[in-house]
Amino acid sequence: MHDFLNDYDRLIPIWILGRRAEVPANNTLLRCLQYLCPDTVPYGKFCWNNECGNSKFYYRRPGDTHDRKARACCFARITDEMEITVLSAELKFVLRSFLDSTPIERPLPTTENASTPIPEIRFRDE
């Protein structure tokens, strides 16, 4: 096991911008993203304690019809079949190897099939 992860007994599926990923259960989203991209996520502009605002995202859990409010992924615990629908620019940057190499298997919500449009996330330094 990786020393940066909490103990886990299995990998669970989550969806990141329509792409399926298997990540360690019992961990925060940011640690799971580090598991997926260990060469880039640790070097992102993240404070790891919810102060910088660079790890915001929107998500849905199974059965949700609307995106849930953006949260800092350094504190958000993953759940089985969680769907990440929007990522901050910094998260997209550090996940580019995963995003570029993993096929989209599930369409993202749009204004046509979601009740509200997905807003662009803006940050302090943009």
Average pLDDT over residues 59-73: 85
CATH number at residue 27: 3.10.20
Strands (E), 1-126: 11-16, 19-24, 56-60, 68-72, 83-87
Cα-based distances in Å from 10 to 4, 14, 96, 108, 121: 16, 13, 25, 26, 32
Asked whether residue 107 is domain-assigned, the answer is no
Sign of the Cα pseudo-torsion (49, 55, 79, 11, in order): negative
Tell me if 30 is assigned to some domain. yes
Domain assignment present for 115: no
Is residue 124 one of the residues assigned to a domain? no
pLDDT at 117: 45
Domain hosting residue 76, numbered range:
11-101
Q: What is the pLDDT of residues 84-114, one digit of tens each?
A: 998 999 999 999 999 999 999 988 765 444 4
Number of structural domains found in the chain: 1
In-domain check, residue 118? no
